[in-house]
Amino acid sequence: MAAPLAYGGWQWLAPQGGSGTQGSSAGTTTGKPASAASEQSYLHVIAHADDGIYFMNPDLEQSIRSGALSVTVCMTSGESDGRNAAPKTPQFKSLPTDRPGFARARINGLRAAHALMATGDDNSPWSVEPVELLPGFRSELHYLQAAPHVQLIYMGLCEARYVSVPRPVSMRGLWLGAIEQLPTLPGTGSSVRMPRAYTRDQLTDALAAAIARVNPTVIRTLDPTPLHAPRETVAMMSAPTILRGLSYLDHQDHTASARFMQAAMERYWGAGKGRAASVSNYFGYPTNYTPPSLDAATTRRTAQLLNAYGWVDHRDCGDPSGCGDLKVGPNGLKAGGAGWARGTRTRAPGTSRWLAPLKDGRLAAFAVLNGAVRCWVERAAGQDPWVGPFDVVGSAGSPLDPQVEVVRHADGTLQLFATRTVLPFKGNKHHKELVCVLQSGVGADGVPKFGAWSSLGTPDANPDKSLETGYPATALAPDGTVHVLARNWAGDVAMRSGRGGKDWGPWQLLDHPPGKQPPHPLVVEGIDALVDPSGRIHVAAPVAKTVLHWVSPAPGELPKLSPPTGVTPAGSAVSLVADGRGGASAVYRQAGTAQVAVASPGGPGAAWKVARRTPAGGYGRVAAYRLGGNGGTLVLAVRDDGGRVVPSSDESAQPAWESPGVQFVGIPGAAQDSSGRAVLAVLGTDGQLYASRQTRPGARFGEWAPAAKESAGSRV
3 pLDDT band, cuts 50/70/90, is: very low
pLDDT > 70? residue 13: no
| CA 683/CA 319 separation, integer angstroms | 42
Q: Which domain holds residue 619?
A: 355-709
| CA 46/CA 74 separation, integer angstroms | 5
Q: In this predicted structure, which of 177-191, 354-368, 530-544, 651-665 has the lowest mean pLDDT?
A: 651-665
- For 435, the 3-state DSSP assignment is strand
88 pLDDT band, cuts 50/70/90, is: confident
In a domain, 157, yes or no: yes
Q: Region 270-293: what's the mean pLDDT?
A: 95
By percentage, how much of the chain surpasses pLDDT 90?
A: 84
Q: Residue by residue, what is the 3-state secondary structure of 188-201?
A: CCCCCCCCCEECHH
30 pLDDT band, cuts 50/70/90, is: low
- For 662, the 3-state DSSP assignment is strand
In a domain, 427, yes or no: yes
Other CB atoms within 10 A of residue 654 CB = 8
Tell me the DSSP string of 488-528.
-TTS-EEEEEEETT-SB---EEPP--SSPPPSS-S--S--E
pLDDT > 60? residue 269: yes
User: Do residues 293 and 401 share a domain?
Assistant: no
Paired with 669 in beta bridges are 681
Predicted pLDDT at 334:
72
pLDDT > 50? residue 11: no
In a domain, 119, yes or no: yes
pLDDT for 245-265, tens place per residue? 999 999 999 999 999 999 999
By percentage, how much of the chain surpasses pLDDT 70?
A: 94
| CA 240/CA 281 separation, integer angstroms | 30
User: Do residues 262 and 395 share a domain?
Assistant: no
User: Do residues 271 and 393 share a domain?
Assistant: no
User: Do residues 542 and 454 share a domain?
Assistant: yes
User: Do residues 616 and 580 share a domain?
Assistant: yes
User: Do residues 574 and 629 share a domain?
Assistant: yes
713 pLDDT band, cuts 50/70/90, is: very low
| CA 50/CA 289 separation, integer angstroms | 19
5 pLDDT band, cuts 50/70/90, is: very low
The CATH code of the domain that includes 515 is 2.130.10.10
Predicted pLDDT at 634:
93
Other CB atoms within 10 A of residue 191 CB = 9
pLDDT for 155-194, tens place per residue? 999 999 999 999 999 999 999 999 999 999 999 999 898 8
In a domain, 504, yes or no: yes
Q: Region 271-285: what's the mean pLDDT?
A: 95
Question: What's the total number of domains in the chain?
Answer: 2
| CA 611/CA 32 separation, integer angstroms | 30
CB 188 within 8 A of CB 103: yes
pLDDT for 668-704, tens place per residue? 999 999 999 999 999 999 999 999 999 998 899 999 9
Alpha helices in 293-362 (DSSP H): 296-309, 336-341
**What does the radius of gyration of the chain's CA atoms come to, in whole angstroms?**
25
Q: Region 496-520: what's the mean pLDDT?
A: 93
In a domain, 462, yes or no: yes
The CATH code of the domain that includes 308 is 3.40.50
Domain boundary among 310, 341, 372: 341
Domain boundary among 298, 314, 341: 341
Predicted pLDDT at 653:
58
User: Do residues 57 and 100 share a domain?
Assistant: yes
* Strand-pair category, 278-282 with 218-222: parallel
In a domain, 3, yes or no: no
In a domain, 279, yes or no: yes
716 pLDDT band, cuts 50/70/90, is: low
User: Do residues 435 and 295 share a domain?
Assistant: no
User: Do residues 435 and 478 share a domain?
Assistant: yes
User: Do residues 359 and 308 share a domain?
Assistant: no
User: Do residues 288 and 371 share a domain?
Assistant: no
In a domain, 129, yes or no: yes
- Nearest-10 Cα torsion for 664, 147, 55, 435: -40
335 pLDDT band, cuts 50/70/90, is: low
User: Do residues 296 and 387 share a domain?
Assistant: no
Backbone φ and ψ of 621, nearest 5°: -60, 145
The residue type at 282: Y
29 pLDDT band, cuts 50/70/90, is: very low
Q: Region 305-334: what's the mean pLDDT?
A: 92
pLDDT > 50? residue 8: no
Domain boundary among 341, 374, 389: 341
More confident residue, 655 or 320: 320
Alpha helices in 163-279 (DSSP H): 171-176, 200-214, 234-237, 252-270
